[in-house]
Chains A and B, each alone.
Chain A
Amino acid sequence: MKFLKAPLLTLLILSVVGLVFDFALDAYFQLILLYALVNCLLSMSLNLVNGYTGQFSLGHAGFMAIGAYFAAYANTKWDILPPALNALEFFIYCTGAGLFAAVAGLLVGLPSLRLKGDYLAIVTLGFGEIIRVTLLNMDFLGGPRGYSNIPGFSSFLFSFIFACVWLTICFFTIWRVMHSTYGRGFLSVREDEIAAEAMGINTTRMKVRAFVLSSFFAGVAGALFAHFTKFISPSSFTFLQSVNVVIMVVLGGMGSMTGSIVAAFIITILPEALRPLQDLTGVDLRMVIYSLSLILVMILRPKGLFGDQEITAVWRKYARRNS
Chain B
Amino acid sequence: MSSVLLNVENLEVFYGSIHALKGLNFTVNTGEVVSLIGANGAGKTTTLRAISGLVPVRGKIEFSGKDLVSVPTHQRVSLGIAQSPEGRGVFPQMSILENLEMGAYSRSDKAQIKTDLEMCFDLFPRLKERLQQMAGTLSGGEQQMLAISRALMCKPKMLLLDEPSLGLAPLIVAQIFEIVKKLNNEGMTILLVEQNARMALKISHRAYVLETGRIVMADSAQNLLSNDEVRKSYLGI
Contacts and interface: CB of A to CB of B under 8 A. Distances in A.
B149 interface: no
Interface residues of B, number: 29
A254 to B, nearest CB: 11
A185 interface: yes
Contacts of B21: none
A187 interface: yes
Contact of A197 (B74, B92, B150): B74
A164 to B, nearest CB: 31
A282 interface: no
B94 A199 contact: no
A194 B85 contact: yes
B89 A194 contact: yes
Given A192-B91, A201-B105, 7 more contacts: A184-B101, A187-B93, A188-B94, A188-B105, A191-B92, A194-B54, A199-B77
B85 A195 contact: yes
B89 A198 contact: yes
A200 interface: yes
Contacts of B94: 184, 187-188, 191
B102 A197 contact: no
Interface of A: 181, 184-185, 187-188, 190-192, 194-203, 308
Given A185-B105, A199-B102, A192 B74 contact: no
Nearest to A184: B102
A250 to B, nearest CB: 17
A187 B74 contact: no
B82 to A, nearest CB: 7
B154 interface: yes
Contact of B90 (A192, A201, A202, A203): A192
B142 interface: no
Nearest to B88: A195
A167 to B, nearest CB: 26
B7 interface: no
Q: Which of A185, A196, A199, A201 has the most CB of B within 10 A?
A: A199
A195 B94 CA distance: 13
B105 A184 contact: yes
B93 A200 contact: no
Given A194-B54, A194-B85, A199 B105 contact: yes
Contacts of A184: 94, 98, 101-102, 105
B150 A199 contact: yes
Interface string B139-170: 00000000100110010000000000000000
A78 to B, nearest CB: 42
Interface string B38-72: 00000000000000111000000000000000001
Contacts of B106: 199-201
- 10 closest pairs, A vs B, by CB? A200-B77, A195-B89, A200-B106, A191-B91, A202-B74, A198-B83, A192-B89, A200-B74, A197-B73, A199-B105
B103 interface: yes
